[in-house]
């Protein structure tokens, strides 16, 4: 079973978080004290390794004390069943043969309700037991549980006995437990001074833990070596094949973080490193930017078998190729904390995190431009600029000089950059390809920002063409094919580059297929766009096919029509809130 969505209600500052979708990774951004930690901790208590339960006296939202009841739901999680699990449920519970999902709701009293979907049937006792045994463990970790490698064992024990253990103490204790060592016993042995037995204990524990982590990473492998002198306990790490032992605290902060995290992860999954949901509160907070990027890459490994939800306000902890999994956490007055995807309505600090991740500073000209057009990538920007210049040089109307064209760096970023600009109360539109990627961007725009399609320009509609169309389809096929051959003269080495006749597909799609057929690894449209720009800079409209020039004019006219409408609407026209 894998979780597909989560929701927190009636917990601390959260009345109702709303549903948060999970695939492999979900990122929650927001300013401090917005409720991010409350969301993770409320979710963690859904099914932790050690069930601590919910504390209704301290965790129920303030101001609603009269509503307190053990029956109040706190955490709801939807799980997708595998085909095998669906078959098993059908065998256990008659009438549940089509079940593909189960929603489990846990309340303050610790009780759980199991609802089967799509039929909304309550699971019977045997089905609920079957599902309960397959629930993943929820692992919560914040950034402060970093084990430096050294500890005074008697002091760790004293704090434990007085219920004052620190995060680092807890990491020490779980490392000792995973290595087969007992804290109280080691404190006793440290007082007795039996050095020989102590060395044997530490050596045995070192080998035990090294075996547990031996196959954890395919990258650099290492072994753990424990030593103890009296109450002083120290951890060394030695890369396999090396002779020198390095104290853990002398390794990089990133290595220490990974080591501590792996120990906690291993402990709470009983060494399996799977069937867990990882809830990470501000991971990488004290790592430098490069190490944060490394951490983000490592999350891909963790998330292969264990979905991750993490909070952050660090730009380098956002994968700008996966912006569809970023959520905003913010306070909504009497409604409490909400977690949502509406970037246009998010507070300034939350928006800034995404802007910084995209490389968009507040002072950049695109945030100062009165009129803005977001395009997919730099090829679109180059070609539009070249078209405009050619027309202007011939005495025709080019693209309005006050329009700022912003290349997003990929179709998946168009919606988010458009939303950022809109949130700044600017006039903004987007130019989309007429293909599947463009449809996906349009869906996100409707969800996050636009209320109609007047701010969305589609290449196919402008050109009056059906099927998939991109900006390169303004050119006649022979012209585009000729310049592709010139751009890839070396790779083609005399081989015949031809395009399949497929009217429903764009010229770029057909070129990608042709390149694969010739065994050329990748078609780079930017490379061809540069070659075309060189050619267009030498020509006038009259030297090009009439149909191509007419397509140029259509694009320019559609863009300028938007700018004209914005001017009629005033300084902040369609971009006003």
pLDDT per residue over 288-338, tens digit each? Answer: 767 787 788 888 878 888 999 999 887 778 876 677 788 889 888 888 899
Question: With 60 as the cut, is the pLDDT of residue 217 above it?
Answer: no
Q: What is the pLDDT of residues 86-118, one digit of tens each?
A: 999 999 998 887 889 999 999 999 999 999 998
Question: Which residues contact residue 335 at a Cβ distance below 8 angstroms, ignoring those fewer than 6 apart?
Answer: 15, 16
Handedness of CA 442, 448, 453, 456 (dihedral sign): negative
* Residue 54 in this model has a pLDDT that exceeds 60: yes
Q: Could you give the percent of the chain with pLDDT greater than 70?
A: 89
DSSP H/E element including 204:
helix 195-213
- The pLDDT tens digits of the residues spanning 435-491 come to 888 888 777 776 665 545 678 899 999 999 999 999 999 999 999 999 999 999 988
Higher pLDDT, 16 or 282: 16
442 or 383, which is more confident?
383
Give the pLDDT confidence score for residue 290 in this predicted structure: 72
**Residue 572: what pLDDT?**
46
Please provide residue 104's backbone torsions phi and psi, each rounded to the nearest 5 degrees.
-115, 130
Q: What is the pLDDT averaged over residues 165-180?
A: 86
Q: Helix H segments across 14-67?
A: 36-44, 56-59
Span of 13-22, 189-198, 348-357 with lowest mean pLDDT: 348-357
Tell me the C-alpha distance between 278 and 42, whole Å: 13
Does the pTM exceed 0.85? no
436: left (phi over 0), alpha (psi -120 to 50) or beta: alpha
Average pLDDT, the chain: 85
How wide is the angle at C-alpha 139 spanned by C-alphas 137 and 144, nearest 5°? 170
Instruction: Fold for 1-136+275-345, please state it.
Output: Rossmann fold (3.40.50)
Q: Give the pLDDT band (50/70/90) at residue 126.
A: very high
Q: For 399-416, write each residue's pLDDT tens digit.
A: 998 888 888 777 777 877
Percent of the chain surpassing pLDDT 90: 47
- Cβ atoms of 8 and 327 closer than 8 Å: no
Q: Which residues contact 211 (CB under 8 A, 6 or more apart)?
A: none
Task: Give the pLDDT confidence of 249-268 residue by residue, as tens digits.
Answer: 888 777 787 787 778 778 87
Which pairing describes strands 2-11 and 246-247: parallel, antiparallel, or unpaired?
Answer: unpaired
More confident of the two residues 223 and 253: 223
**Does the pLDDT value for residue 355 go beyond 80?**
no
Kindly state the tokens that stand for 90.
């059908």
Q: How far is CA 171 from CA 144, 164, 166, 299, in A?
A: 10, 14, 9, 20
- Cβ(5)–Cβ(78) below 8 Å: yes
Is residue 521 scored above 90 in pLDDT?
A: no
| Per-residue model confidence (pLDDT) at position 576 | 36
Start-end of CATH 3.40.50.300 domains in the chain: 1-136+275-345
pLDDT in tens, 523-576: 988 889 989 998 998 889 999 999 999 999 999 999 999 999 998 875 444 443
Cα 179 to Cα 207, 251, 274, 333: the distances in Å are 8, 21, 20, 49
């Amino acid at each position: 079973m894998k979780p597909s969505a989560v929701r927190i209600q009636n917990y601390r500052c959260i009345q109702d978080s709303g549903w948060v979708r999970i695939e492999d990774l979900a990122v929650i951004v927001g300013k401090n004290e917005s409720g991010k930690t409350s969301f993770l901790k409320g979710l963690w208590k859904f099914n932790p390794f050690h069930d601590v339960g919910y504390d209704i006296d301290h965790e129920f939202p303030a101001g609603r004390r009269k509503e307190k009841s053990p029956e109040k739901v706190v955490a709801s999680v939807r799980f997708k069943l595998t085909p095998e699990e669906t078959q098993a449920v059908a065998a256990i519970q008659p009438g549940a043969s089509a079940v593909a999902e189960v929603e489990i709701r846990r309340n303050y009293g610790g009780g759980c309700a199991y609802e089967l979907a799509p039929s909304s049937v309550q699971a019977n006792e045997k089905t609920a037991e079957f599902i309960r045994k397959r629930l993943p463990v929820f692992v919560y970790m914040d950034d402060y549980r970093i084990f430096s490698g050294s500890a005074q064992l008697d002091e760790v024990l004293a704090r434990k006995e007085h219920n004052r253990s620190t995060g680092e103490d807890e990491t020490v204790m779980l490392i000792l437990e995973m290595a087969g060592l007992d804290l109280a016993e080691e404190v006793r042995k440290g007082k007795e001074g039996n050095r020989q037995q102590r060395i044997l204990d530490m050596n045995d524990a070192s080998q035990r833990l090294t075996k547990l982590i031996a196959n954890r990473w395919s990258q650099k492998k290492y072994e753990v070596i424990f030593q103890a002198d009296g109450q002083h306990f120290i951890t060394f790490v030695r890369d396999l094949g090396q002779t020198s032992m390095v104290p853990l605290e002398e390794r990089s902060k990133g290595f220490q973080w990974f080591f501590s995290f792996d120990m906690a992860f291993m402990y709470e999954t009983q060494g399996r490193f799977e069937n867990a949901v990882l809830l990470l509160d501000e991971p990488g907070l004290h790592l430098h930017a490069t190490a944060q990027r490394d951490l983000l890459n490592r999350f891909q490994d963790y998330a292969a078998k264990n979905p991750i939800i993490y909070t952050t306000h660090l730009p380098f902890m956002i994968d700008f190729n996966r912006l569809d999994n970023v959520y905003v956490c913010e306070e909504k007055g009497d409604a409490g904390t909400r977690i949502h995807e509406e970037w246009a309505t998010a507070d300034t600090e939350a928006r800034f995190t995404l802007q910084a991740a995209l490389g968009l500073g507040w002072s950049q000209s695109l945030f100062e431009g009165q009129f803005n057009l977001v395009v997919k990538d730099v090829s679109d920007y180059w070609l539009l600029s070249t078209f405009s210049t050619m027309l202007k040089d011939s005495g025709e109307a080019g693209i309005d000089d006050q329009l700022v064209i912003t290349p997003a760096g990929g179709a998946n970023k168009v919606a988010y950059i458009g939303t950022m600009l809109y949130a700044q109360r600017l006039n903004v539109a987007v130019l989309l390809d007429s293909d599947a990627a463009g449809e996906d961007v349009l869906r996100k725009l409707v969800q996050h920002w636009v209320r109609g399609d007047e701010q969305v320009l589609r290449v196919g509609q402008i050109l009056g063409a059906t099927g998939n169309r991109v900006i390169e389809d303004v050119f006649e096929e022979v012209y585009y094919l000729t310049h592709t051959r010139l751009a890839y003269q070396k790779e083609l080495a005399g081989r015949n580059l031809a395009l399949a006749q497929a009217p429903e597909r764009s010229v770029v799609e057909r070129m990608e297929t042709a390149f694969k057929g010739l065994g050329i690894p990748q078609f780079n449209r930017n490379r061809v766009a540069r070659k075309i720009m060189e050619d267009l800079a030498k020509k006038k409209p009259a030297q090009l096919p009439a149909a191509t020039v007419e397509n140029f004019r259509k694009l320019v006219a559609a863009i300028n029509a938007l700018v004209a409408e914005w001017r009629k609407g005033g300084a902040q026209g369609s971009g006003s809130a």
